[in-house]
């Protein structure tokens, strides 16, 4: 049986709440905690964090004083953010949060019992307390991601790479899991810039970055190492599996059509691969992958070279 659901757009219009008859007590059940008190409390608590998960966790916990819930899901497509709290129920009500034409995401409340009109009105009364906390959290998240991303390709930048690589090495040692690294370079990329211009070169870089992402798992990470070089970090991946990933990336890049000023451009990539050794530093792991890439380019390009 399909789960019943309802969808509402919330633009924080208090007049709407008045039209719903909000402010009247429910006909049967008395609440031990007034909505006015809860709104005031949430207004203070939710402003204390810039982390979406913490803000929504506090909101989810506190609103159950007046509306029992089994789960809360938050989705903000523009920032690729999705958070789920609690266990899913058979009934749901969805609210699209909008403020001055700015989409702040969707909230889905779930539980196993239907929502009454009074409960929906209660939820709508409390949603405005999320307005500024969520908006500030989204702005902070965007600024943080921007500081760690290459603006052209959307991959991680060198700062993000340094932080992530060190963290992954520590996790690899703590959990005794393999860790591998691929260094990828676009062959003869200078010819693209020289023949078609830097704008065409930028388009090629974005296309190659997209091709890499499409071939990887969600847990794998891609960084722009510099120029036309990309670094791919493969967690829990041994030497043999990393070689298979590298070959997959090489074939995918070669099979893709690249265009510059309407002209078809044939491109290939070369890769160097290294797998973390016991006690090895991040610098050594990078150096071995870079040396392997150098060998791949020296020996004809369009190939994968494994580090010794």
CATH number reported for the structural domain that contains residue 44 in this entry: 3.30.450.40
Residue 110 β-bridge partners: 71, 92
Domain range for 179: 158-306
Same domain, yes or no: 286 and 224: yes
Q: Tally DSSP H helices, then E strands, for the chain.
A: 10, 12
Q: What is the pLDDT of residue 28?
A: 37
Active site residues: 228
Same domain, yes or no: 61 and 133: yes
In a domain, 13, yes or no: no
Same domain, yes or no: 215 and 283: yes
Same domain, yes or no: 163 and 143: no
In a domain, 107, yes or no: yes
CATH number of the domain to which 178 belongs: 3.30.70.270
For the chain, the average pLDDT equals 87
Give the C-alpha separation, 302 to 268, whole Å: 5
Plot region of 302 (φ>0 → left; ψ -120 to 50 → alpha; else → beta): left
Same domain, yes or no: 142 and 243: no
Last residue of a domain, one of 107, 125, 147: 147
Same domain, yes or no: 168 and 131: no
Instruction: Tell me how many domains the chain contains.
Output: 2
pLDDT at 80 over 80: no
Q: What confidence tier does 18 reach under pLDDT thresholds 50, 70, 90?
A: very low
Q: What is the pLDDT of residues 28-79, one digit of tens each?
A: 334 446 888 899 989 889 999 999 999 999 999 999 999 999 999 999 988 8
Beta strands in the chain (DSSP E): 5-10, 71-76, 81-86, 91-99, 102-111, 179-186, 221-226, 229-235, 258-260, 263-265, 269-275, 304-306
Q: What is the pLDDT of residues 222-240, one digit of tens each?
A: 999 989 999 999 999 999 9
Last residue of a domain, one of 147, 174, 194: 147
Last residue of a domain, one of 128, 147, 166: 147
């Amino acid at each position: 049986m399909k789960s019943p659901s309802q969808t509402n757009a919330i633009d924080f219009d208090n007049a709407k709440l008045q039209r719903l008859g909000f402010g009247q007590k429910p006909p049967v059940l008395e609440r031990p905690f007034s909505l006015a008190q809860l709104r005031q409390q949430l207004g203070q608590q939710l402003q204390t964090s810039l982390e979406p998960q913490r803000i929504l966790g506090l909101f989810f916990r506190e609103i159950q004083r007046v509306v029992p819930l089994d789960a809360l899901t938050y989705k903000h497509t523009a920032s690729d953010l999705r958070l789920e709290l609690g266990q899913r129920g058979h009934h749901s009500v969805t609210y699209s949060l909008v403020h001055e034409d700015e989409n702040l995401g969707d909230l889905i409340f779930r539980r196993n019992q239907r929502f009454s009109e009074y409960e929906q009105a209660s939820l709508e009364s409390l949603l405005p307390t999320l307005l500024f906390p969520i908006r500030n959290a989204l702005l902070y998240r965007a600024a943080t991601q921007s500081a760690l991303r290459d603006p052209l390709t959307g991959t991680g930048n060198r700062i993000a790479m340094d932080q992530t690589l060190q963290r992954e090495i520590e996790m690899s040692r703590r959990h005794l899991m393999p860790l591998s690294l691929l260094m990828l370079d676009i062959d003869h990329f200078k010819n693209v810039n020289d023949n078609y211009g830097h704008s065409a070169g930028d388009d090629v870089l974005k296309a190659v970055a997209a091709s890499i992402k499409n071939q990887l798992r969600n847990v794998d990470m891609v960084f722009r190492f510099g120029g036309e070089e990309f670094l791919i970090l493969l967690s829990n991946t041994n030497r043999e599996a990393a070689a298979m990933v590298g070959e997959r990336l090489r074939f995918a890049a070669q099979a893709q059509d690249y265009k510059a000023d309407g002209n078809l451009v044939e491109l290939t990539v070369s890769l160097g691969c290294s797998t973390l050794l016991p006690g090895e530093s991040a610098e050594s792991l990078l150096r071995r992958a870079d040396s392997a890439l150098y060998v791949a380019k020296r020996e004809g390009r369009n190939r994968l070279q494994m580090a010794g």
